[in-house]
Amino acid sequence: MPIIHELFRLLLTFAVLFLGVRTEAGAPPPPVVTTTPAEATAAPELSGALAEALRYAPADLRLLQFADWTLLRQYAGDTGSTATDAGDARRLLPRAANGEFFIPTGYASQTAAANRALWGWDFGDLRWESALQLDDGRTAYVMRLADDFPLDALLARFAERGFGQTEVNGALLLSRQLDLSAPWSVDLATFNAAVFPEARVLVHAPSLESVAKVVAAATGESTPAADLPEYQATAAQLGATSAALLGPYALHCAVFDPAAIFAGAELPSADAVQEAFAARFGNTPLGPFMALGVGFALEEGQPVGRIVLAYPDAASAEADLAPRAALATSGKSLLVDEPVSAVLFTVDAAVAVENTVVFTVTPVNNQPGRLFSMFFNRDMGFAGCPAE
Both 234 and 340 in one domain: the answer is yes
pLDDT, position 262: 65
Confidence at 254, pLDDT banded by 50, 70, 90: confident
Residue 146 has pLDDT above 50, yes or no: yes
Both 250 and 373 in one domain: the answer is yes
Confidence at 30, pLDDT banded by 50, 70, 90: very low
Both 8 and 132 in one domain: the answer is no
Of 188, 223, 258, which marks where a domain is finished? 223
Residue 336: what residue type? V
The three state secondary structure string of the chain is: CHHHHHHHHHHHHHHHHHHCCCCCCCCCCCCCCCEECHHHCCCCCCCCHHHHHHCCCECCCCEEEEEEHHHHHHHCCCCCCCCCCHHHHCCHHHHHHCCCCCCCCCHHHHCHHHHHHHHCCCHHHEEEEEEEECCCCCEEEEEEECCCCCHHHHHHHHHHCCCEEEEECCEEEEECCCCCCCCCCCCHHHHEEEEECCCCEEEECCCHHHHHHHHHHHHCCCCEHHHCHHHHHHHHHHCCCCEEEEEEHHHHCECCCHHHHCCCCCCCCHHHHHHHHHHHHCCCCCCCCCEEEEEEEEECCEEEEEEEEECCCHHHHHHHHHHHHHHHHHCECCCCCCEHHHHCEEEEEEEEECCEEEEEEEEHHHCCHHHHHHHHCCCCHHHECCCC
DSSP 285: P
Residue 96 has pLDDT above 60, yes or no: no
In a domain, 263, yes or no: yes
Mean pLDDT across 48-66: 96
Both 13 and 84 in one domain: the answer is no
Residue 309 has pLDDT above 90, yes or no: yes
pLDDT, position 27: 38
Residue 166 has pLDDT above 70, yes or no: yes
**Where is pLDDT greater, at 33 or 382?**
382
pLDDT, position 193: 98
Mean pLDDT across 296-307: 93
% of the chain exceeding 70 in pLDDT: 77
CA distance 209 to 72: 31
Both 219 and 235 in one domain: the answer is no
Both 62 and 165 in one domain: the answer is yes
In a domain, 186, yes or no: yes
pLDDT, position 289: 93
Of 223, 242, 258, which marks where a domain is finished? 223
Tens digit of each residue's pLDDT (9 = 90 or more) over 184-231 = 999 999 999 999 999 999 999 999 999 999 999 999 999 999 999 999
Both 89 and 11 in one domain: the answer is no
Mean pLDDT across 232-240: 96
In a domain, 189, yes or no: yes
pLDDT, position 258: 63
**Residue 48: Cβ within 10 Å count:** 18
Both 15 and 117 in one domain: the answer is no
In a domain, 52, yes or no: no
Q: pTM higher than 0.85 for the full model?
A: no
Number of domains in the chain: 2
**Where is pLDDT greater, at 251 or 319?**
319
Residue 135 has pLDDT above 60, yes or no: yes
pLDDT, position 3: 45
In a domain, 195, yes or no: yes
Both 162 and 119 in one domain: the answer is yes
Of 199, 223, 247, which marks where a domain is finished? 223
In a domain, 234, yes or no: yes
In a domain, 51, yes or no: no
Q: Are 341 and 329 in contact (CB under 8 A)?
A: yes
Residue 2 has pLDDT above 70, yes or no: no
Both 333 and 351 in one domain: the answer is yes
Both 63 and 197 in one domain: the answer is yes
Both 320 and 239 in one domain: the answer is yes
Residue 147 has pLDDT above 70, yes or no: yes
pLDDT, position 26: 36
Tens digit of each residue's pLDDT (9 = 90 or more) over 277-297 = 777 777 778 899 999 999 999
Residue 350: what residue type? A
In a domain, 149, yes or no: yes
Average pLDDT, the chain: 83
Confidence at 43, pLDDT banded by 50, 70, 90: very low
Q: Which domain holds residue 13?
A: 2-44+230-383
Residue 6 has pLDDT above 70, yes or no: no
